[in-house]
Amino acid sequence: MLSLLDKWVQENNELANNFKLPEAQEATSPDQNRTNLRQSCSEFHKLLRKIQGIPPDAGHAELELSVVYNASVCFIAQSQIVEAELLLQQATERVLQMTGDDPDTSDPLVLWRTVLKSVRKTAFHHHVLYLLSLQWAIWLTNSYLKTIRDFQEEISALLETLSGKVGDDCRNETKAKFPDVPKLITDPRRLVELLQICTIITQGAERLSEGWSSEVLSDLQAASTLPAARALVAYTHLLSGACLAHMNRPQMALQCYKTALETDSHCVCALYQSILIYRQLKNSQAEIQTLRILHSILLLPSSSEPAMAGTHLLSPSLFLRSQSLSSLLSVPSALSVLHSLALKCVLHSRASEGVEHYLDLLAALHSEDQHRIGAKTMTDTQVHAEVSTLPKLPRLYLEAGAALLMAQRPADCMALCSEVISTTQDLLPQKVVLDESETNAAATEDVKEEGEGGLAMFLWTAAAYLLQGHCFTHMKDWKQAVTHYTRCINLLVKVHYKNKVAGFQTQIPSADTDVQQGGDFCILQRLKGLSFAGRGISFTQMDRMKEALRDLQHSLQVLPEGVGAGLWCGEVLWRLSRRCDAAACWEKTWSLPTQPLTE
Amino acid sequence: KAGKQRVSQISPEKQRALFSQATYVWRYGCLKHKRDPVRVFPRAEPNTDLCSKTYCIRKVAAQVDIVKCKCAIDVRRRVRTPCILVTKKRGDRFHYILLTLSSSNQLEPRIKFKPPYQMKGDVCILQGPTVLWRHEDSVFYTSLRAEGVRKIPMEMSHCLFGELSFYKGQVFVLGLQKPSDQSAKQSTSPTLGYFLEDGQVFDGTVVLPHPYLCITQCMLALSSEREGGVLKCAVIAATSHKQLVYFENGVARDACQLPYDHVEGLQVVNTGRNGCLFVVLFKRGDVCAVWKETFQVCPNSQVCLLHVDDFLGCGTDQMLLLFRDQGVARRPADKFLITDLCGISFSCGQASEALKTTPSPQENYLLTLQALESRLQSGLIVLQDLQRDVSVKEGVIQQSVQVLTDVLSGRETQLTQPATGVSLSLLTETGQSSAPAVIQTQSQAFWLPACRPSTPPLSSSSSSTSAFAFSQPAAKRSRQHVASDDPRARRLAVTAMTKLAPLLTSGCVKCCVMLHYTRGADALSPVSKRAPVVLHCGQVAVDIHSVFQKPLLKNPLIKTDEVREDLLSLLTVLDRWVLHIDSPDYSLGDMDGWIQKRAGCQKVEVSPQYLLLDSPEPSAAMLLHWHQITPFQGELSIHSSQLQMLRFLDSLRAFLPASCAVRPVKSARSRSTAQTLALALENEVLSLRKCAASLAREREEGDEGRAGPEEPPEPGSVEGLRRCREAWRRDVERSRTRLSALVDVGKYREMIRIVSDVQTDGDLAALLYAQRTLFS
């Protein structure tokens, strides 16, 4: 009997050693590791089958539970959760047979409680706790956070027992110098530590999304001192930052993000979150700077490598599967970041810098043809889900064109605009109906769906003409400018409204918020206003005052807050010797809040 | 059984004839299942003319009950023959008859026995034919050779029957020894084996490990041999846990889950090059096959009967599966399948008629070849066995020769000269001073009786070292033996004494041990003048800890000056190691908490950053100080003996993450920043004083030069008073000039440069100190 047990222990230890051997060599490929894992898994399972083939006996419970542990760890590492859970269930039933208790239930929670109660005084109490920690791992993988909360008391006891092990006890388990101690392939204490911090992180993210930020914060800050992998410690700081951001403490949040980044330089999501904070604080200088850093980090090949994978059998990504967490951990692709950077530069009077970024972006898109696919660099990590926010190519062209114009490079701008016009011209529909009866959000969605054709094409082409008009204005070629403004206006009047809503002006977005949010109706109004104003100004330059006045008044009617149009309207009125009207017009214009304009 | 007939071409008619014998067994098996012999026996198929002819049926058909049917080897006739054990009740007595089927298809009674009870539970028919059964913890058997019912001379609480394939002692019984037996408690294994033929008892665990014995439903030995009296065998067993387990020499090698419960029989199918199959027959008529190599299961249900033989005559085994047919029970051989699950499949009456094949002549050649090949291989195995035997014998001979040679060539022991006038010196390490200082003042030598026949002189010094530590040297007691003992059989103990002061000042002293002795008069060198010999015996470390016994810091929780003093003395006396712990990937967690959770750990209240680890042994106290720098790094100061420190580090290593780097901080850095600052400040003060003094002295020298030598004033006289006054006035004058002395510019600048250099060092130390104290 003794020799049978010894041989099984030996077999288990050989398997465990074999398993650790290739792990130690760094040269092994992930493929090889996977094969090794699969093989170990079946071997452990086979051994377990042999051990469970004899009646349950408390004398070799330690061995049996160790093999269950090893086999289950292998299964979990391969994401074979169902198999692992089955093993655990069988093991608990056998434990109850050993202790002579009756498992009169199939409810796993009640079963576990019965088992824990019945083994409290036995020698294999710790081994049962190891299995409980695996059950915890399974719950966490399945995101059964409620179950974990229900089991909080038992889990705290588990933590207390396993992490409190000191001295000789601890040494025996981890080193297993003695051949008769069954080896475990993962240190249970490390596993428990991993589960603890992962649970806090996942729970924190979930509860944060439910709005319990202040309660979560204390948990997270306590968790940041727990022993854990660097990346996970960084996540606790990141989540604390997110909590503080929710609680309207942006500066403290920034501090937390900084700590996260200091803790783990791979934690780029902290950088991204701080960008969002800067955006919220309207600190555009800092935002631009951070965007620049983020972009350069994302371009580094090593940034995509998760710091924690590969070192352990059970990767933390197995246990961080919450939806709200992955949205927090997501980072846009390098190209999206570059686009935001370019746009920010242009919007904050750094046109020439913005132009450079736009040109880089367009070059990258052309050379790699990565549009829509986005940068592939981050796809290997599950945790770092990617956000693709890159707009469509014509839009990028137009933005780049506007930037070029602002940087005093009208010729380049015109080239880009002609590019847009040539691609969209054939696809332009005869007329477009804009249904504004729906709510703003719904309209936006509609547009998104039919954005491939229809309205988007219209808007792009119109904007391209408008920009070309601006370019000619810039070059003081008034006649050409009038031609292009006219083309723009002709295009815009083809859009028909349905259920026109009054009072849309109040919803016209300011330039700082994303243009898309305002809905296409506002964009349309804007384009109209600007093109009329442009043509009016061109007419003024050509001394065709009547037409100028008509256009400028049209413009003001469509876009009452247009400062340029207002000023020029006053000018034209002045020249037409309508001094009082001119003064009134100017006065009215000056009273308007000044707004920078882009597209 | 007609299994030895080789049939190459199989027609259904031939097939029918071939299986006719098997059919008997099948039929009886069927009857047995139905458990209703009274009705079934007369209904047996009439055209075979069997039942009417048999002895038992004719006589007592109405009362006969079939106990067991099985094929077993008839040792006398050397054939495998179907055996049927029937019972009939006569009043309270039970008569048992074992019937066998003769070659002429006749059932004949072979053994009759009348036990005074009804056999219950498992009855087994094994080769012989031998009938075995268990009754009330005893195992009985009967066979043609045994002549009557025999009882196995031991009691077993649980037992299994089996047969092995070597020439002698084939049938065995495995059983759990009754725990009531006193001798059984002492033996390591409660599992016993017993050979029926020679009554030999062996350890049952070589066949089946203990826990399996109670759960095994069916067991089959695959191979067995005896090597040097040790039984080696391979066994498969079907357990009540729905498993088929393969054992090699009592070790479970493999196991697989069976699809059904209640195993009735196990058989082996040797399919030649395709490996071995185990066929498992279940009570409810299901069958499954298990590949030996992979232990993969291939189930098949609704089977009435299974036979294994070389039906096709191709040199390997096939299975014959007879399928249950609900409607036509009278034509049992209509539906069958012959297969080895790899290549050969011959079916009849099955849905898949397409499987029916007739082997072509070419296939016949192939089959012949395969048969020849398998014979060749078995021959080869025998040859290899013989070769192994030869090599084992050679090994034994060589070993015996070696042993004999060793016995013959014994070594002679070297005897050394006895020494007289022994004394020992302890010299402190060179390097502290040019000549080693002798710290020994006195030494005494004692003779000790030796345990070994001879002792080289070196060991005498080593014994002296150990004697040094004893408070009461053991040598004293043995002094009286000196005179009587043979000088060869003596060891020497030398006790040296020294002063405590050098040990106290330097903590641990490493001493060179020098042995001074004078050779006694001997025959070899009568002319020699007994010159004293000095022998260097190595080094001995004398530690302060072995001197200081009283435990310090008994109660660290109180805040008194005494405790403070104890702490400081402990810090001074204990060795100190400062370890920098850096864990780049994994944060360290709560180190302080971990240390405090260790047994016997207490916080020192007078200085709470120190944790005291007390242990029952005196002088094993340990002071720990953890200073966390970041969550991933920290410094641990350990004040303890080296052994303690290593012990602590060992457990610490288990606590720390695997990727953690622990390195000792260099001694220069191990000095605390406070100490560095203090030293720097001291240095600053000293150099300032030195520089200022040298400047002042230079100027004074100039003054003194002019003043000339001064006579001591005569006290009491006017002149003396005047001169005293003069001197006092001069002193005042001098001190005034000294206070605002004029010094040389070059010298002054030099002084300022030196002082500012020293001050920079001081500033640096202060900065470091401030950093450590402010940010910790």
Question: A137-172 pLDDT, tens per residue?
Answer: 999 999 899 999 998 888 888 888 887 664 444 444
Q: What is the CATH number of the domain that holds A520?
A: 1.25.40.10
For residues B534-551, give the mean pLDDT: 66
Q: Which of A2, A45, A50, A191 to mutate to test the interface with B (most CBs of B within 10 A)?
A: A50
Beta-bridged to residue B59, according to DSSP, are none
Count Cβ atoms below 10 Å from residue B130 Cβ, excluding itself.
Answer: 27
Query: Considering CB atoms only, which of B188, B205, B588 is closest to A227?
Result: B588
Helix residue spans in A494-544 (DSSP H): 520-541
In B, minimum Cα distance to A233 occurs at: B587
Count Cβ atoms below 10 Å from residue A291 Cβ, excluding itself.
Answer: 26
Residue A14 tokens, joined: 């050989």
Report yes or no: A309 at the B interface, CB cutoff 8 Å.
no
Name the residue among B681, B676, B680 with its Cα closest to residue B772: B676
> Rounded distance, CA B455 to CA B549, Å?
34
Q: Does A273 reside within a domain?
A: no
Indicate the DSSP class of residue B703.
H
Beta-bridged to residue B276, according to DSSP, are B270
Q: Provide the domain limits for residue A135.
A: 4-163+181-186
Q: Does A393 reside within a domain?
A: no
What is the DSSP annotation of A472-506? HHHTT-HHHHHHHHHHHHHHHTTEEEESPPTTGGG
* A chain contacts of residue B235, beta-carbon cutoff 8 Å: none
Kindly report the backbone phi and psi dihedral angles of residue B275, in degrees, each rounded to the nearest multiple of 5, phi listed first.
95, -175
pLDDT beyond 60 at B456 = no
Binary contact (B252, A228; C-beta < 8 A): no
What is the DSSP annotation of A349-405? T-HHHHHHHHHHHHHHHHHH--TTT--GGGTT-SSS-EE-----HHHHHHHHHHHHH
Query: Considering CB atoms only, which of B243, B631, B654 is closest to A225?
Result: B631
Most confident listed range (A217-226, A439-448, B224-233, B688-697): A217-226
Top-confidence residue, B643 or B27: B643
Top-confidence residue, A39 or B408: A39
How much is the mean pLDDT over chain A?
Answer: 79
Q: Does A83 reside within a domain?
A: yes
Cα angle value B414/B415/B416 (rounded, 5°): 125
Identify the pLDDT of residue A444.
Answer: 41
pLDDT digits (tens, 9 = 90+) for A427-483: 777 666 665 544 443 344 344 444 445 677 778 888 888 888 888 888 888 888 888
* Environment class of B354 (CB within 10 Å of its CB; exposed 0-12, middle 13-18, buried 19+): exposed
Identify the pLDDT of residue A519.
Answer: 64
What is the DSSP annotation of A124-179? THHHHHHHHHHHHHHHHHTT-HHHHHHTHHHHHHHHHHHHT--HHHHHHHHH--ST
- Domain stop point among A153, A171, A186: A186
- Residue showing tokens 């065709």: A544
Identify the pLDDT of residue A234.
Answer: 92
> Rounded distance, CA B142 to CA B304, Å?
30
- Domain stop point among A126, A155, A186: A186
Query: Which residues have CB under 8 Å from A178's CB, separation 6+?
Result: A172
Residue B50 tokens, joined: 């069997």
> Rounded distance, CA A295 to CA A534, Å?
37
Distance of CA B465 to the CA centre of its chain: 37
* A chain contacts of residue B255, beta-carbon cutoff 8 Å: 46, 49-50, 53
> Rounded distance, CA A129 to CA A157, Å?
9
pLDDT beyond 70 at B205 = yes
Identify the pLDDT of residue B612.
Answer: 86
Binary contact (B214, A311; C-beta < 8 A): no
Do B502 and B428 form a contact (C-beta atoms < 8 A)?
yes
- B129 preceded by cis ω (within 30°)? yes
Do B333 and B16 form a contact (C-beta atoms < 8 A)?
yes
Length of chain B: 776
Query: Considering CB atoms only, which of B587, B597, B631 is closest to A166?
Result: B597
Residue A359 tokens, joined: 């040109």
pLDDT digits (tens, 9 = 90+) for B577-621: 888 999 888 888 888 888 888 777 888 888 888 888 877 665 677
Q: Does A198 reside within a domain?
A: no
pLDDT digits (tens, 9 = 90+) for B80-115: 788 888 888 777 788 888 888 777 777 788 888 888
Do A472 and A478 form a contact (C-beta atoms < 8 A)?
yes
Indicate the DSSP class of residue B287.
E
Q: Does A313 reside within a domain?
A: no
A186: left (phi over 0), alpha (psi -120 to 50) or beta: beta
CA distances to A136, B368, B376 from B372, in Å: 61, 6, 6
Identify the pLDDT of residue A235.
Answer: 93
* A chain contacts of residue B597, beta-carbon cutoff 8 Å: 164, 166
Top-confidence residue, B542 or A60: A60
Query: Which residues have CB under 8 Å from A447's CB, separation 6+?
Result: A455, A456, A519, A520
* A chain contacts of residue B257, beta-carbon cutoff 8 Å: 49
How much is the mean pLDDT over chain B?
Answer: 70
- Strand arrangement, sheet containing B287-291: B263-270, B276-282, B287-291, B297-300
Binary contact (A227, B257; C-beta < 8 A): no
- Domain stop point among A151, A186, A221: A186
pTM of the model: 0.68
Nearest CA to CA, how far is A116 from chain B (Å)?
A: 24
Identify the pLDDT of residue B700.
Answer: 62
What is the DSSP annotation of B44-103? S-GGG--TTTSHHHHHHTTTEEEEEEEEEEETTTTEEEEEEEEEEEETTEEEEEEEEE-T
CA distances to A551, A564, B1, B56 from A594, in Å: 21, 10, 112, 121
* Of the listed ranges A249-263, A316-330, A395-409, B459-473, the one predicted with least confidence: B459-473
| Band of residue B462 on the pLDDT scale cut at 50, 70, 90 | very low
Quote the longest CA-to-CA distance of chain A. Answer: 117
Query: Which residues have CB under 8 Å from B557's CB, separation 6+?
Result: B602, B603, B605
Name the residue among A145, A552, A565, A563 with its Cα closest to residue A324: A145
pLDDT beyond 60 at A502 = no
Nearest CA to CA, how far is A112 from chain B (Å)?
A: 24
CA B15, B20, B21, B27 dihedral sign is positive
Indicate the DSSP class of residue B438.
B
Top-confidence residue, A239 or B725: A239
pLDDT beyond 70 at A282 = yes
Residue B87 tokens, joined: 């019972």
Strands A495-498 and A432-435: parallel
Binary contact (B211, A54; C-beta < 8 A): yes
Residue A231 tokens, joined: 């990346």
What's the total number of domains in chain A? 2
- Strand arrangement, sheet containing B93-101: B64-74, B79-90, B93-101, B107-113
* B chain contacts of residue A259, beta-carbon cutoff 8 Å: none
Length of chain A: 599
| Interface predicted TM-score (ipTM) over 0.90 | no
Nearest CA to CA, how far is B185 from chain A (Å)?
A: 14
Nearest CA to CA, how far is A190 from chain B (Å)?
A: 8
Identify the pLDDT of residue A195.
Answer: 92
Name the residue among B120, B142, B139 with its Cα closest to residue B131: B142
Binary contact (B631, A263; C-beta < 8 A): yes
Name the residue among B340, B320, B359 with its Cα closest to residue B273: B340
Identify the pLDDT of residue A135.
Answer: 94
| Band of residue B1 on the pLDDT scale cut at 50, 70, 90 | very low
pLDDT digits (tens, 9 = 90+) for A10-38: 889 988 888 766 555 555 567 777 888 88
Most confident listed range (A306-310, B61-65, B511-515): B511-515
In A, minimum Cα distance to B256 occurs at: A49
Range A221-231 burial, b when 16+ CB lie within 10 A, else e: eebbebbbbbb
* A chain contacts of residue B657, beta-carbon cutoff 8 Å: 190, 227
> Rounded distance, CA A254 to CA B115, Å?
94
For residues B567-583, give the mean pLDDT: 82
Identify the pLDDT of residue A256.
Answer: 93
> Rounded distance, CA A375 to CA A369, Å?
10
- pLDDT above 70: percentage of residues in chain B: 63
pLDDT beyond 50 at B731 = yes
Between chain A and chain B, how many beta carbons pairs sit less than 8 Å apart?
Answer: 98
Indicate the DSSP class of residue B617.
S
